[in-house]
Amino acid sequence: MRSLRAVLAGCLLAVSAVAGGGCADSGEERTLVVLGPWTDGEEKPFVEALRGIGKKTGRRYVYTGTRSLRETLVAQLQAGAPPDVAILNSPGELVEYARAGHLQPLPEQVAGAAVPPWSPAVTVEDADGELRTRAYWVPVRVDLKSVVWSREDTAGKVPRWCLGMASGATSGWPGTDWVEDLLLQRMGPGEYERWATGGMKWQDTGPVWREWGRMLTADGHDPGPRGVSDSFELLDDGRYGLLNRGDCTHEHQGSFIRRHYGDDVRPLPTARHLAAPRGRSASGGAFEVSGDMAAVFKPSAAAWDLLGRLSSKQARTDWANTALPGERPFFPGGTAGSVPLSRSTRDLQDLFDSAGQICMDASDAMPPTLRDAFHRAVLEFVGDLDDKALLGRLLDRLEAERVLQRKEEAFVLDDLCDSPV
């Protein structure tokens, strides 16, 4: 993340031109709607940050959070009533919206906040039929993946992996994270990027699927149907965090999961848990990352102003200072705020800083139909790990979808990895 700090410093200077505009123009609507992914209390610090922005602008910002972002946004677009700003975690979906004309490219004052790899430039045909490559969204929060969580008293033991694949309309993504991370660690950033952008046959990913299967079934363990049906974070008795379930010792999950644990649960790189000898040398210390990206769906001076302010140092400081220690957000360039970091947050920041490469979540960057097929495939794979012929059928199905999406020129993103050094 160190190299991104210099980029961020420049971006904040550019954003200040937007953020210094004062109160809303008298002719504009003073209430702006923001659609985003945070619910169940996780949204509170962000809402406080919006409230702080509102005190400066005189505008009112209404936040709506949902776990079914794609379905909600598509319905709103079909009804002709999109939010002013939406915060999504899928560049692949954002590309679709840009190509369909639902998004406008970032104005010059905000474009500096489009920090790689979370905001790659996108080539879109404009109204005059010319292809132009521009940025369309900015990251407002980022997360580190390629991380395994365990309690200190189990850190050195043979892992019994926690597994919960259920997540509403997007069930399966905890499994795609596993496959993506293993491919990144085993094949390195170059091959990871080639695969995620449609240049590799799915059959070539077979070894990492089989390795994942062996990890899940080590010592006779079998996640069975429960691995598919259990929530990725919510337990049956209303508690959160799979490590609190009592029947598993290690969890492969992104940095956001620390909100459910105390500082006795610590993160380590996935590479530390892989069998020698191939993983570490191939990856070069690479980590998978994800992001929550903001884009304007209802263009106005007030909406662009908000996008700029969400990327500003002040908004990030307000957001961080009102978050609980285990929910302290990460931003391009590091953390923000004056509240001391928790142990796990500091550990994660150290991993960010030591990364050789950071690569955007592969499935988030894929065309949505391929991403959804990937989700379904991992659910089927986990549901029947004893069927040795199943994987071949699943990979053939995914390969057919890849070929179809290439014919339709649906793969647009081609730059998913960035060096933080």
Tens digit of each residue's pLDDT (9 = 90 or more) over 148-173: 999 988 866 789 999 999 998 899 99
Q: What is the model's pLDDT at position 29?
A: 55
Q: What is the model's pLDDT at position 341?
A: 87
Residues sharing a CB contact under 8 Å with residue 38, sequence separation 6 or more, in sequence order = 46, 65
Contact 370, 397 (CB under 8 A): no
172: left (phi over 0), alpha (psi -120 to 50) or beta: left
Using one digit for the tens of pLDDT, what is the confidence trace for 327-368? Answer: 889 998 878 888 888 899 999 999 999 999 999 999 999 999
- CB atoms closer than 10 angstroms to residue 103: 21
Query: How does DSSP assign 22-41, residue by residue?
Result: -SPPTTS-SEEEEEES--TT
Cα dist. 394→379, 390, 398 in Å?
A: 11, 6, 6
- Please report, as a single letter, which amino acid is at residue 282: A
What band does 301 get if pLDDT is binned at 50, 70 and 90?
very high
CATH superfamily, region 144-287+358-418: Periplasmic binding protein-like II (3.40.190.10)
19: tokens are 């953020």
Cα dist. 197→191, 208, 365 in Å?
A: 10, 18, 8
Contact 352, 286 (CB under 8 A): no
Quote the strand ranges of 30-99, DSSP E: 31-36, 60-65, 85-88
Residues sharing a CB contact under 8 Å with residue 129, sequence separation 6 or more, in sequence order = none
Which has the closest alpha carbon to 134: 146, 142, 143, 125? Answer: 125
Instruction: For residue 239, give the 3-state DSSP assignment.
Output: coil
Contact 374, 366 (CB under 8 A): yes
In terms of pLDDT, which residue wins out, 336 or 2? 336
- Please report, as a single letter, which amino acid is at residue 361: D
What band does 100 get if pLDDT is binned at 50, 70 and 90?
very high
Residues sharing a CB contact under 8 Å with residue 229, sequence separation 6 or more, in sequence order = 165, 166
Q: How many CA atoms lie within 13 A of 27 on its CB side?
A: 2
Q: What is the model's pLDDT at position 152?
A: 85
236: left (phi over 0), alpha (psi -120 to 50) or beta: alpha
7: tokens are 């980029």
Which has the closest alpha carbon to 280: 133, 387, 146, 130? Answer: 146
What is d(CA 356, CA 283) in angstroms, rounded to the nearest whole number? 8
- Bond from prior residue into 174 cis (ω within 30 degrees of 0): no
- For residue 12, the surrounding DSSP H or E stretch is helix 2-19
What band does 23 get if pLDDT is binned at 50, 70 and 90?
very low
- Res 14 pLDDT > 90: no
What band does 67 get if pLDDT is binned at 50, 70 and 90?
confident
Q: What is the model's pLDDT at position 237?
A: 86
- CB atoms closer than 10 angstroms to residue 238: 6
Q: What is the model's pLDDT at position 5?
A: 36
Instruction: Report the range out of 305-314, 327-336, 370-379 with the highest average pLDDT.
Output: 370-379
Of the chain, the percentage scoring pLDDT greater than 90 comes to 75
- For residue 404, the surrounding DSSP H or E stretch is helix 390-407
Q: What is the model's pLDDT at position 11?
A: 39
Contact 179, 146 (CB under 8 A): no
Q: What is the DSSP letter of 158?
A: P
- Res 196 pLDDT > 70: yes
- Res 283 pLDDT > 80: no
In terms of pLDDT, which residue wins out, 175 or 276? 175
Residues 2-142+292-339, CATH architecture: 3-Layer(aba) Sandwich (3.40)
What is d(CA 264, CA 186) in angstroms, rounded to the nearest whole number? 29
Window from 137-141, 152-156, 186-190, 352-356 with minimum mean pLDDT:
152-156
- For residue 376, the surrounding DSSP H or E stretch is helix 368-383
Contact 70, 94 (CB under 8 A): no
Beta 122-125 vs 131-134: how paired, if at all? Answer: antiparallel
- Res 122 pLDDT > 50: yes
The overall average pLDDT reported for the chain is 89
Instruction: Kindly list the domain boundaries of the chain, sorted by start residue.
Output: 2-142+292-339, 144-287+358-418
Q: What is the model's pLDDT at position 318?
A: 92
Q: What is the model's pLDDT at position 194?
A: 97
- Res 251 pLDDT > 60: yes
